[in-house]
Amino acid sequence: MKADIRIAWTLARGSERREWWRILLTALGALAATGFALAAVTIAAVRGQVSIPYAHGLLDRPGERGGVVLALVLLLVPVLGFLGQCARIGAVHRHRRMAGMRLAGATPAQVRRIAAAESAFACLAGSAGGFAAFAVFLAVAGHTPPPTAWAGFVVVVLAVPVVAAPVSVFVLRHVVASPLDHVRRTAPDQGRRAALLSLLAVGLMVVAALLHLSPAGRDVKPFALLVIGLVLLTGSGAIRVTGAFAAFVGRRLTLRAQNPAVLIAASRLAQDPWAAARTHAALLLVTVVGVSFVGVRGVLLAALEKGDYRPVSLAFYTTGIDLAAGAVLVALAISLCGLAVGTAESLATRRSGLAAQAAAGVPHSVLARAALLETALPLAPALLLAGAGGTVVYLAYATVVGGPVPLLPLLVPVVVYAACLLAAATSLPLLRRVAHPAELRFT
């Protein structure tokens, strides 16, 4: 292990100029994770009933502070997914280095550990930068956390790279480097994973139903478990739909398509239909949560407008709703960044084939449309299903509280779909570089 870490440090210091953008993205992801975790530790360190001149009293009582801490911790999930995408694109982009290590006697597991350690070094730089920025923020705000909070800060700064390394190993477990300058991916069993996630979701819904029927479970609030189960069930279903639809459309369009861009995109989808599911998984879950939240927000605001609240009390509720909306938007932004990185990783992996197509005379505009279609085709039905699942959640909530049914949430999947296409379009400058006949000299 020490030798792997030493090699990783040497490789990180000797990275080429083209690889610094990957290191920068990894460091930014670690900085975001550190910021969320440090904020959670700072809020959790506050004890008892206090008066904080922020958020209209939302942080004054332990109960509301616990909800804010939970929201900050949940934001770490899309950040870790983003770090995994960065580790994956880095490992495949440096495939000749990986093949050289295999020629020197390294095992595939050692290659993955070295790539993960490189990501950990970048994460350590990002977490240190996040801690420095957070310390400056505390100094400007004039807040002095207790000693226990500072101990938690140190743990967070060290834990971010420690957690990022296993995440990188996990996402690279299907990357196999051979000594002959070739990198490939083994196909994971996506169906089994989606089935396990669906089984977990059904289990949560059954537990929620039993708690609702049991007299002893009236104080447990089973509605939250029901909502979590519906979100997981819809998310897993959307992921399965993405893979299945990509395989179906890829096979059908490969036989019938006449447009060159559609034919190229269909061939790619038929070859690896689950690549889209891996890239879109976080986005689909965020879409379910986003549709649910926008609907629940509309119901809550309508109820607050009818209620007899003083301006101070009304600001308390609306501030909590706005903070939750900010958390959903942050999760969406991180997921979109993960989509952009995943699209770039796909292009970098296929640069030999893209260069061959460009050398054969395929116009760049055709390759660009094909790259966008690879995102657009499988994502459309999955977002429709995710939107339907989120609609069921907020309709159930509106039925329980007896509020009106807003129509604004129905636009959320459309907005997310447009944002996904824009995120995928950010990789087109990379396409112009990798889809160049000069890349054939490296194959």
Provide the whole-model pTM: 0.74
Instruction: Please give the C-alpha separations between residue 198 and each of 183, 189, 191, 234, 399, in angstroms, as whole numbers.
Output: 32, 15, 10, 8, 25
Euclidean distance between CA atoms 118 and 124, whole angstroms: 10
Euclidean distance between CA atoms 294 and 406, whole angstroms: 9
* Tens of pLDDT, residues 128-141: 999 999 989 888 87
Q: Return the exposure string of 155-188: e unless at least 16 CB atoms fall within 10 Å of the residue's CB, then b.
A: ebbeebbebbbebbbebbeebbbeeeeebeeeee
State the pLDDT at residue 219: 47
Q: Exposed/middle/buried for 141, CB within 10 Å: 0-12, 13-18, 19+?
A: exposed
Euclidean distance between CA atoms 250 and 254, whole angstroms: 6
Q: Mapping DSSP to helix (H, G, I), strand (E, B) and coil, where does residue 258 land?
A: coil
Q: Which CB contacts under 8 angstroms, 24+ apart, belong to 19-22?
A: 19/90, 19/93, 19/94, 22/86, 22/89, 22/90, 22/93
Beta bridge partners of 183: 177
State the pLDDT at residue 70: 79
Mean per-residue pLDDT, 113-124: 80
Is the model's pLDDT at 26 over the cut of 70?
yes
76-93 vs 274-306: helix crossing angle, rounded to 10: 160
What is the identity of the amino acid at 233? L
- Binned at pLDDT 50, 70 and 90, residue 422 comes out as very high
Euclidean distance between CA atoms 183 and 88, whole angstroms: 12
Is the model's pLDDT at 272 over the cut of 70?
yes
* Tens of pLDDT, residues 341-399: 888 877 877 777 888 888 888 888 898 999 899 888 888 888 888 888 888 878 887 88
- Binned at pLDDT 50, 70 and 90, residue 248 comes out as confident
Euclidean distance between CA atoms 360 and 35, whole angstroms: 48
- Binned at pLDDT 50, 70 and 90, residue 89 comes out as low
Cα 89 to its chain centre, rounded Å, is 15
State the pLDDT at residue 415: 93
State the pLDDT at residue 128: 92
Is the model's pLDDT at 186 over the cut of 50?
no
Give a three-class secondary structure readout of 157-196: HHHHHHHHHHHHHHHCCCEEEECCCEEEECCCCHHHHHHH
What is the identity of the amino acid at 343? T
State the pLDDT at residue 220: 47
Q: Return the sign of the alpha-carbon dihedral for residues 333, 335, 337, 339.
A: negative
Nearest to 32 by CA among 126, 147, 157, 145: 126
